[in-house]
Homo-oligomer: A and B are copies of this chain.
Amino acid sequence: MRERLGVPLAPEVVEYIVRPRSDHLDRDFRLMMLINRAHAIMLARQDILTRQTVRTLLNALGELEAEGVESLDRDPGPEDLYSTMERALIRRVGADAGGRLHTGRSRNDLGSTLTRMAVRERFLSFLDPLLELREVILEHAQEHVETVMPGYTHLQPAQPTTLGHYLVSVALATQRDSDRLLEAYPRLNLSPLGACAFAGTGFPIDRQLTADLLGFDGIVESTTDAVASRDYVNEVLAAVAGLGVTLSRLAQDLYLWCSDEWGTMEVASEVAFSSSIMPQKKNPGTLEHIKAKAGHLIGALTSSLTVQKGLNFMHCRDMSLESVDPLWDALTQGEAMIVLTRITVAGLEVNKELMLRRAAEDFCTATELADILVREKGLPFRTSHSIVGNAVASALEQGLRANAITAEMIGRAAVEVSGQLITLTPDQVDRALDPVQNLAGKRASGSPSAPETERLIGLASASLSHHRDTLNGWRQRQERAAEGLNRAAQLN
C-alpha cells in the first residue's frame, strides 16, 4: 500500500505507534476474520465478486484463521494488522482473488467496525460481574432489613436506620448507573461497515446485510459519521465513571465502619492485608483500591474527551485509535472495582449489637422525640425541635447518653423554651428513644421500616431481573448472528 510513499515506516514510528497496538492482537485478528467473512459473503450476494472468487477467499481466510495470528509474518514494514493479513491472503491465493477482498470497503470502516465489535464484547463481559455485585448487595440488604444502626448526615449520627435500607439504597444507585450503561448499547451496536474511507462507495454493497451477519442492530447511517465519531466511547466511560463514584462511596462507608473507632464491621481476613512490622494489623486494603479506581475512571473519561475535543469531523488516528485507548484499561479497572466490592461485601462481619447500642445512645433518636411532641402533644414542629434541642444540650452537659433522657428532662426543657409545661409519659419517651420502635413507625414511602425496605428490595430485584433478561437477549442475538454467519459462509 505504501507505493506512493516508497519507503517503510521509520523505526521510531514502529516502536512508538505500531508496536504498542499489538496488545489485543488475538482478539483483533479473530474479529477481523469475522468481518472479512461477512464482507465476502455480501460481495457474492450482491454480485460484486463471483461466487468462485468468494469461495476461494473464504477458504483461504479459514486456513489463515486456523493457523492463527502468530503465523502471520510480523515484519513491521506494513502499517498494521490489516495490511499484514491482506499480504498473507494474497500470498496464499494470488492477487486476483486476494486483491479483491477489499472491494467496497476501506481500513477506516473496517477499523471502526472492529473496534465496535471489540467494545461490544468487552462491554457484555463487563456487565456480568456488575449484575452479580448488585445481587450480592441485595442479598445482604435482605439479610439486614432489621439490623438497626445509626444513620448519618454530615458524618454525625442523625437518625436510626438499618443496614438493609442503607444497602438497598446503594443498590438503587448502582441500578441507575447500570441503566445508563445499558442505554449506551443501542448506540454502540451499530455497524459502520460500508462507510469505506468516509464517502461510501459506488459498488452496490448491502450495509444492512453485513450488519446483520455481524450481530449489529443496524447501521451508523451517515458514512462520514461512521468513521469520524467515537462518542459511544465517552458515553460508556461516563457511565462507568459514574458507577465508580457510587462504589467509591460504598467503600468509603465500609472503610469507616471497619475502623477501630467505629468497630461495627470487619472485613474478612481473605481480603485484608497484614503489616510487615505491626503485628496487630488487619488492613482493609481492597476498600482502598476500590476508592482509588474511581479516580482512574474519571481520568480515563477526561482523557478520551480531551483527545476528541477540537478534532476535525473526519477520520483521523487521534479519533480512531487514541480516543478509544483509555476504554480498555478503564473497563479493567472498573471490573476490578466491581469484583473487589463484591467479595468485600460478601465477607463482611457485622457487629449488630454494637450498632443497635450506638443507635440507642448517640442521640439519633432525638428527631422522633420532637415528632412525638408534635403528634401527641400538638406542638408546632419548630417549638418541639427547640425543646428537644434544649434537652439534648443539657444531657450532653451532664455526660448522659440519649437513652438516659427522661420525661422529666423534657418537661423542664419545655418550660424553659416555651414557658409551657408539657408532660410525656415515661413510656412515650421510651418509645421515642428506642430505635427499633422508632424505625417501625417509618412507614412513609421508601423509609427504612422493614416493609418499606422490602418493597425497595423488590423494586431493585425486578430491575436486576430486567437487566439480566436484556443482557441475555443481547447475548442470544450475538450467538444467532454467529451461527448465521457460519451458515452463510458454508453455503457460499
Of A4, A300, A339, A383, which is in contact with the most chain B CB atoms at under 10 Å from its CB? A4
Complex-state Cα separation, A95 to B385, whole angstroms? 12
Determine whether A476 belongs to the interface, using a CB cutoff of 8 Å to chain B.
Answer: no
A466 within 8 A of B: no
- Decide: B194 and A445 in contact? CB cutoff 8 A: yes
Contact with B along A447-468 (1 / 0, CB 8 A): 1110010001001000000000
A293 touches B322 (CB 8 A): yes
CB-defined contacts of A336 to chain B, threshold 8 Å: 16-17, 20
Bound together, the chains give a CA A296 to CA B226 distance in angstroms of: 24
Q: How far is the CA of A219 from the CA of B444 in the complex (A)?
A: 12
Could you tell me the distance in whole angstroms from the C-beta of A302 to the nearest C-beta in chain B? 4
Known contacts A102-B381, A242-B231, A275-B197, A4 near B456 by CB under 8 Å: no
Q: Given contacts A259-B155, A444-B204, is CB(A248)–CB(B310) below 8 Å? A: yes
Asked if A3 is at the interface of the complex by the 8 Å CB criterion, the answer is yes
Q: Chain B nearest CB: distance from A304 CB in Å?
A: 7
Asked if A134 is at the interface (CB within 8 A of a chain B CB), the reply is no
- A97 at interface, CB cutoff 8 A: yes
* Interface size class of chain A, counting residues whose CB lies under 8 Å from the partner chain: 35 or more
Are A281 and B224 within 8 A (Cβ)? no
Residues A341-359 near B (CB distance < 8 A): 343, 347, 358
Asked if A27 lies at the interface with its beta carbon under 8 angstroms from chain B, I say no
- Within 415-448 of A, Cβ neighbours of B (below 8 Å) are at 438, 441-448
Contacts of A484 in B (CB 8 A): none
A402 — nearest CB in chain B belongs to which residue? Answer: B280
**Quick check: is A71 within 8 A (CB to CB) of the other chain?**
no
| Alpha-carbon separation in the docked complex, A406 to B82 (Å) | 32
A301 proximal to B (CB < 8 A):
yes
CA distance in complex: A308, B304 (Å): 16
Instruction: Knowing A3-B389, A245-B234 are in contact, say whether A96-B446 is a contact too (CB < 8 A).
Output: no
Is B444 in contact with A271, judged by CB distance below 8 angstroms?
no
A115 within 8 A of B: no
Q: Given that A16-B336, A316-B153, A447-B223 are known contacts, is A82 also in contact with B363, CB under 8 Å in the complex?
A: no
A128 in the interface (beta carbon within 8 A) = no
CB distance from A231 to the nearest CB of B (A): 6
B279 and A3 form a contact (CB under 8 A): yes
List the B side residues contacting A170 at CB < 8 Å: 313
Q: Report the separation of the CA atoms of residues A362 and B203 in the bound assembly, to the nearest whole angstrom.
A: 23
Residue in B90, B202, B438, B456 whose CB lies within 8 Å of A382: B90
Q: Are B12 and A339 in contact (CB under 8 A)?
A: yes
Within 8 A of B (CB), among A251-265: 251-253, 255-256, 258-263
Q: A29-37, A61-69, A116-124, A368-376: which one contacts chain B?
A: A368-376
Q: Give the residue name and chain of the B residue nearest to A241 (CB).
A: B305
Give the shortest distance, in Å, between A430 (CB) and chain B (any CB). 16
Q: What chain B residues lie within 8 Å of A270 (beta carbons)?
A: 7-10, 13
Q: A161: which of B107, B207, B224 is its contact (CB, 8 Å)?
A: B224
Per-residue CB contact flags for chain A residues 283-319 toward chain B (1 = under 8 Å, else 0) read 1111011011111101111111111111111111110
For the complex, what is the distance from the CA of A296 to the CA of B322, rounded to whole Å?
8
Q: A225-B446, A294-B310 are in contact. List 5 more A-B contacts (CB 8 A).
A: A180-B235, A223-B447, A252-B310, A299-B301, A299-B304
A-B contact pairs, 13 of them (CB 8 A): A5-B272, A5-B274, A98-B382, A99-B379, A102-B276, A155-B256, A156-B282, A177-B231, A199-B447, A202-B442, A220-B446, A231-B246, A292-B318
